[in-house]
Structure 1
């Protein structure tokens, strides 16, 4: 068993979504090199995780993402220690060769030797092995190897770096020195950064630059793309896409070459955002374009053109682009228990192959059908960016797909399931903060009682405190359906916006004072004095039976609002049975 790292910290060290995606691909391709080396030495049929074979090759599995833990059987006569060392050497050599390729043509702006030394030192690799007697001992032997690997990882090697210097530290994590070779004058240095695809003021290390310049053929979506997609869907639904394209073209001419984009991600193919930078739609981001920051009159002309567009679109019922998107993080439940139930290598290989073929390789299609961008889907682990109007349906689709694939592996009536965390965040929120929020949401889904098989959503508004809700997938109706229903009621203006906040205030002020019966009665009184149709009042009252129900209703009504705004903008049908079933 061989493990590569660092995983979470390295991937999360990202300022752009492109960095995030490139970091995940970099580690996945390094793991693929390990698997390829082992397959060449012991035979592909001896790989247990990942488990290529049949219709699925190692290269095909690599498209989804190779997990950072590799498991293989080593035949008699082969030295497992030598295999482990050689496999790690292959991964490190691959990354160094890739860095040479990526840095080529830019070496005049780099301390190249230091950059390559940092890349070579990046990968952490650990392995453990144990003799396997009879195949009947497979489960216990696998558990023993996993324990040995965990112990080995806890006794990390700490070697002195060879590339330390007094240079500025990386702007992303402060862990390594910057390797940028720039002019002394700040203005000239920033111009050089822009030509290199960097932001003004950035100092980046070798691994940072490897991620930033890692070749991404079709490009990757940004958080701003995700925030703007409901607007584009709404423009199409209202027959206004021509007006938006025309305005973008005019604004792009004023901005100049900076306004061009080369992002051909599948979800952007029928949008203007493959040709034009999506930041052009956001007045708060216009000064990020050098030509506008240096020319106030041109900046004002662009603002006026956008304001004219917004006035025109508002008359047609379409507000300007929104500012929130969803970051999804999902992880399988009871996977350790499931693996413990696999009694021989053949069963484990079949499980690995099914997980990769029927789930991991399908995730990209599911995410993109919901308008999102997949960062990675390694085994049972998923990270993706999504537009708000489709985020809940995507979470549901992923959980359902995982349940179907894992159904044959249930034990004692307990099935593996998928816990999903959704972070609803502002598109300008630092990416590392958004990742932390998504991971906290996934942890809440997995660990709150009753544990696992759940969705948790955490909303982080630009002003105000965080709000979190959670619901299990086997509830009826599910959390996704409840949020959809509340979003519909908000869109129909059937629920006064103050109702949710008054219920929340009731819990805060009287939750520990009033009896449960009195608290529920007071919540009912709050609803009764609000102006709304009796049918809607009765529907909301139906959800209130306990103190927990009152608090849940208040939080879910508040959290449904950003989803309601995105759905309204995108033109999602209200009170649609088809939409309800998808959630």
Structure 2
């Protein structure tokens, strides 16, 4: 494939635009907008026969209707001498596509368009370079394109229409807000959003249609629990509790908004309940109501417009709320607790209030594609159009495998491009999904680094996304990269994080499960004082300055390990076996043996999580304890 121009078209500011999201629907819409622009760019190139375009990235055939493998960069080889024209055509086409979407959201006949009030200079940000055929073979063209594109990134266009009478956009403060579109629902009309943010917010409503939504944080957090409830529908008390829950919600929530379906729900779950309307309701609308904490009288009253911000009482009683509403809220809290109790008797863990953001990115992908980095097979990539096409196909296959792994665990993918991934996953499945997605990246591709952040379903989604990407950046700062950054943010704001290597000995996700009840250790109970005592002894175990500034020499390795085992045994107890199966006279001896084995494995795992030469990393212990407490 010689005698062709090389064209690279990149959409800049993509991650920022996607992350500027308040809801999961914003998040998914932002991703779909970027994928739609990239697909439109590919179609534009292929539609002009004069260009005779050969697409290198993404894989041809992925442009139409494909959710995976659509990167924010298009690489194509076109007929000699047509490169600049091809790139400009793509830029103009994407500008026109964006204008069309704005028109769908705001209305084509809206007078604001004619006045220029809906213009968005600086978005979308389409950057392109064209390298002529005379520059040499594909490798020479590629190197030149990367240098030019790197320089292009330093050019900024600050032009923007500013209406000083309007506040800044609450999602994207680099833009001014505009009055809401006519089709904006009543509950959204008070928001200060810019044109790009309104397009994202109303993306699924554009053109007057109502398209598929996206699961909420509560829907994802409770997915594993709801699936288990439906599988155990015939167990005592479960169906009755769900019916009671439904009756209470019907009295409280008149909006009748269904939760977007999770594609990973298996067939046996969707058929649970034998056609029981309560089971259908539980799948479609029960996501948030399984949490007793949701049944807060004042919060629900404010949410459904039954009580003003001033909190003044009304005429129907001391609370100012209808008696039936108050009664339904109280009964709803009782029904959610009754469901949890019935589930516990059936062997189900309670619904976790947490979910996880999973982000993954290939290490040094730019160097690898330029032949200056090495893949997992140890060799550099030959920089040819054919090899780049082969890598493009590999990335497409990785993206499909990653989606399958996420959805199998009842998670949902925001985007999967093969070289990068963003997904939301139920907390109980997050470690396993992180491992599965990591393992989809095989030779000849480079290694992958991962960020995994657990957060409460009521916490800020935007903060969680930002912190997850920070964890990914920290994982990539490890020597050799190929790291896993993992952390949590509780609803109270408490947080901790640590970074471990994917390939440094035993699987890191197994070490992070050190305190989680499994196998014989399921009967182990941990004292809340364990974490505090381990942290208090850290300077003696590993050396360093204590809180008073006094330096300590570390204990000899063997002595320090023995002390850690003693502390762990001291803070563990053993619950009786189910049904009292062990003879009473053997219990103390067996329990002590179990505690010793648990302490031995725990010390080895904690050392695995600590930096080289140390036994204890405080934040790693905090993360492991969090997983024990919240991610069963």
TM-score by length of 2: 0.77
- Distance of 1:292 and 1:509 partners within structure 2: 58
The match for 2:57 is 49
Greater shift, 338-347 or 558-567, is seen at 558-567
- Distance of 2:20 and 2:141 partners within structure 1: 36
| SS class of match (2:56) | strand
| SS class of match (2:513) | helix
The match for 2:188 is 198
Is the CA contact 2:58–2:69 (under 8 Å) kept in the aligned structure 1? no
Higher relative contact order (CA 8 A, sep 6+): 1
Greater shift, 487-496 or 542-551, is seen at 542-551
Matched, 1:224 2:218: yes
The match for 1:559 is 623
The 1:345–1:315 alpha-carbon spacing in structure 2 relative to 1, beyond 3 Å, is closer
The match for 1:156 is 156
How far apart are residue 173 of structure 1 and its match? 2.6
The match for 1:129 is 130
- Distance of 2:117 and 2:390 partners within structure 1: 39
The match for 2:97 is 94
| SS class of match (2:79) | coil
Which residues of 2 match residues 120-519 of structure 1 at below 5 A?
Answer: 121-133=122-134, 137-159=137-159, 161-162=160-161, 164-180=163-179, 195-198=185-188, 201-215=190-204, 217-236=211-230, 238=232, 239=235, 241-261=238-258, 263-267=260-264, 270=270, 272=281, 275-276=284-285, 278-281=287-290, 282-284=294-296, 286-287=300-301, 289-290=303-304, 292-293=306-307, 295=321, 297-316=323-342, 317=344, 321-339=351-369, 340=371, 341-356=381-396, 358-403=397-442, 407=443, 409=444, 416-449=446-479, 451-463=480-492, 465-488=494-517, 492-507=523-538, 511-512=543-544, 513-517=552-556, 519=560
The match for 1:534 is 596
TM-score by length of 1: 0.83
- Distance of 1:431 and 1:544 partners within structure 2: 30
Greater shift, 286-295 or 547-556, is seen at 547-556
- Distance of 1:165 and 1:452 partners within structure 2: 46
The match for 1:571 is none
- Distance of 2:403 and 2:306 partners within structure 1: 37
The 1:105–1:93 alpha-carbon spacing in structure 2 relative to 1, beyond 3 Å, is closer
The match for 1:579 is none
| SS class of match (2:80) | coil
The 1:421–1:163 alpha-carbon spacing in structure 2 relative to 1, beyond 3 Å, is same
- Distance of 2:305 and 2:158 partners within structure 1: 47
- Distance of 2:104 and 2:258 partners within structure 1: 24
Is the CA contact 2:360–2:448 (under 8 Å) kept in the aligned structure 1? yes
| SS class of match (1:90) | helix
Is the CA contact 2:222–2:288 (under 8 Å) kept in the aligned structure 1? no
Larger of the two Rg values belongs to structure: 2
How far apart are residue 39 of structure 1 and its match? 2.0
The match for 2:28 is 21
Is the CA contact 1:293–1:299 (under 8 Å) kept in the aligned structure 2? no
What CA deviation, in whole Å up to 9, does each residue of 1:384-438 have, x standing for no partner?
Answer: 11100111111111111112xxx1x2xxxxx511111001111122122111111
Point out the structure with the larger helix share. Answer: 1
- Distance of 1:326 and 1:296 partners within structure 2: 38
Greater shift, 215-224 or 276-285, is seen at 276-285
Is the CA contact 1:34–1:91 (under 8 Å) kept in the aligned structure 2? yes
| SS class of match (2:423) | strand
Is the CA contact 2:218–2:457 (under 8 Å) kept in the aligned structure 1? yes
How far apart are residue 525 of structure 1 and its match? 3.6
The 1:351–1:320 alpha-carbon spacing in structure 2 relative to 1, beyond 3 Å, is closer
Q: Which runs of 5+ in 2 are unaligned?
A: 1-7, 205-209, 271-279, 309-320, 372-380, 545-551, 574-594
Is the CA contact 2:81–2:132 (under 8 Å) kept in the aligned structure 1? no
What CA deviation, in whole Å up to 9, does each residue of 1:217-270 have, x standing for no partner?
Answer: 331011111222233244345546524531332123202431432523424684
Q: Which runs of 5+ in 1 are unaligned?
A: 183-191, 410-414, 569-583
What CA deviation, in whole Å up to 9, does each residue of 1:524-554 have, x standing for no partner?
Answer: 4423433442221222234466974765475
- Distance of 1:542 and 1:367 partners within structure 2: 30
- Distance of 1:436 and 1:353 partners within structure 2: 30
The 1:254–1:474 alpha-carbon spacing in structure 2 relative to 1, beyond 3 Å, is same
How far apart are residue 453 of structure 1 and its match? 2.1
What CA deviation, in whole Å up to 9, does each residue of 1:291-329 have, x standing for no partner?
Answer: 554735344223311232244235432676332110011
- Distance of 2:422 and 2:461 partners within structure 1: 13
Q: Aligned pairs, how many?
A: 538
